[in-house]
Structure 1
Amino acid sequence: MKVNCPTCSKDVEWNESSEFRPFCSDRCRLIDLGQWANEEHAIPGRSAEEELLSEQLKDLKDDHFH
């Protein structure tokens, strides 16, 4: 099976001999890692801080109304 490299879109054979799969090379893998580190990529949803604040507010409400 072939997939496209997420960085450069080059065809990559998806098998055990493809050392950097799904990337075509270590260079493309490191470019992608750098983009995550620079927050150029993100998983949709609330941040960890928003989740924590939401839980704390919920706990405060529960304590206040019980």
Structure 2
Amino acid sequence: MKLNNKTYDRLKFVVTIFLPALITLITTLGSAFAWELTQLIVVTLGAITTFLGTLLGISTNNYNKELKT
């Protein structure tokens, strides 16, 4: 799979900046306010972040292969 530049840049921002910050925010507030579903939400967001990071890695690998040929 190869992503276009705009999609790649947006996805990279979401995966490397937004989602980790959101996970930290939810973990902190959930602990402070004793939210019931904090762990479920954080684990779900962590799985989504990992999945999207894998897509980024595949796209980067495909892009780099094209540059070498």
Give TM-score, length-normalised by structure 1. Answer: 0.35
Pick the structure with greater CA Rg.
1
Larger relative contact order, structure 1 or 2 (CA cutoff 8 Å, min sep 6): 2
Relative to the length of structure 2, the TM-score reads 0.34
Judging by fraction of residues, say which structure has more strand: 1
